[in-house]
Amino acid sequence: MSKRGLYIAFLVLAAVAAAPASTHAADANTAPGAAATPSFSEITATRATLEQLRAGGFVLYLRHGRTDNSHPDRVPSVDLNDCTTQRPLSAEGRADSARVGAALRQARIPIGDVHVSPLCRAKDSAAAALGPAQPYVIDNDRWSDLLD
């Protein structure tokens, strides 16, 4: 991967699919049953943070857009080469992804290497956000063990 630019990963992690963005993780100093310590801090964008993003060198992690839950994944027979076996993006999810891409372009945030989950909804999200001119790499490494 290049050291400059912004890397966008549309990866789908089943373990966090339903987790809210404010998920907290316990640390070694948290007593059993005690409230967990936040694992990240949300930072409101400022002119300075936007300038930092424009300078490149960051990794941006995005999930796929909203999906059509009336067509669930055909577990355990999900075929990564057959989108009919997978839960598809909804029209809203495709539109959300396109808006994310438009916002990145409007903000003039550089895009470097793009890694995408092999699930169709992730590839479709990347295509809607980045358009056909932006190539991406399908990241099969994390999925081969789950689907074998």
Q: Has residue 123 been placed in a domain?
A: yes
Q: Has residue 36 been placed in a domain?
A: no
Handedness of CA 85, 86, 92, 94 (dihedral sign): negative
Q: Has residue 98 been placed in a domain?
A: yes
Q: Has residue 35 been placed in a domain?
A: no
Q: φ and ψ at 60, to 5 degrees? A: -110, 125
Query: From CA 13, how far away is CA 19, in angstroms rounded?
Result: 10
Q: Has residue 38 been placed in a domain?
A: no
String of DSSP letters for 20-58: -TT-EE--TTPPTTSPPEES-------HHHHHHHHH--E
Number of domains in the chain: 1
Q: Give this prediction's pTM.
A: 0.67
pLDDT tens-digit map of 89-148: 999 999 999 999 999 999 999 999 899 999 999 999 999 999 988 888 888 776 655 555
Which band of pLDDT confidence, cut at 50, 70 and 90, is reported for residue 27?
Answer: very low
Which domain, by its residues, includes 110?
Answer: 6-13+44-147
| pLDDT value of residue 29 | 46
Q: Has residue 63 been placed in a domain?
A: yes
